[in-house]
Amino acid sequence: MIDHILEGNKEFIKGDFTENRDYYRALASGQSPTVLWIGCSDSRVAPERISGAKSGEIFVHRNIGNIVRVGDWNFATILEYAIKHLKVADIVICGHSDCGAIKALSADKESDEAYIPLWLSNASQARSELEREMPKPADPAAQKEWRRRLEEENVKLQLKNLRTYPIVREAERSGKVAAHGMYFDLETGKLEKIA
């Protein structure tokens, strides 16, 4: 696979990089993205590909389940850098269909894994909220729709978590930043704003 990646890089250099040499030369001296994108690590949901963005337009943070953990110093540094130094105008939290994290969160059996359940506890409130409104159905087809609702509920929860960071609250209050919840459907390729 590494050889495939290196070959892909050679094709990139021969194609896009050479054709847009001035653009990439400018990027080599600095970045000025306008969006901070918080998305899932899922290999099928590459932010630049699904949004049609070019290199340098999106500052990206990805993790399992597009989670914004409250009180996370690593994440706080990303926010601080994006808002204070890069001066992004928008923050996007993007969930997606067929999310493995949400499947794990919606499972009714205990996991024998150490780290994934601990990480997903940062999204458990989304499941609790949805179950209050709509109990998990037994029918497999209905469960698929229920999981989609859970994927969307998780995006809304993570927006709430995002706003626990003072730097985000202040940037929103002063009109410097707008936060958005988005959802990508793998089957249709559609990206839509949901919050």
Please enumerate, by residue number, every residue annotated as part of a binding site for Zn(2+): 40, 96, 99
* Binding-site residues: 40, 96, 99
Percent of the chain with pLDDT over 90: 96
CB 26 within 8 A of CB 167: no
Residue 103, CB half-sphere, CA atoms under 13 Å: how many?
A: 8
Task: Write the DSSP symbol of residue 192.
Answer: E
- Cα 85 to the chain's mean position, in Å? 21
Report the alpha-carbon distance of residue 103 to residue 108 in Å, rounded.
10
Catalytic sites, residue numbers:
40, 42, 44, 96, 99
Q: What is the pLDDT of residues 151-183, one digit of tens each?
A: 999 999 999 999 999 999 999 999 999 999 999
CATH topology of domain 33-193: Beta-carbonic Anhydrase; Chain A (3.40.1050)
| pTM of the predicted model as reported, rounded to 2 decimal places | 0.95
Residues of the chain with CATH 3.40.1050.10: 33-193
DSSP line for 12-63: HIIIIIHHTHHHHHHHHT----SEEEEEE--TT--HHHHHTPPTTSEEEEEE
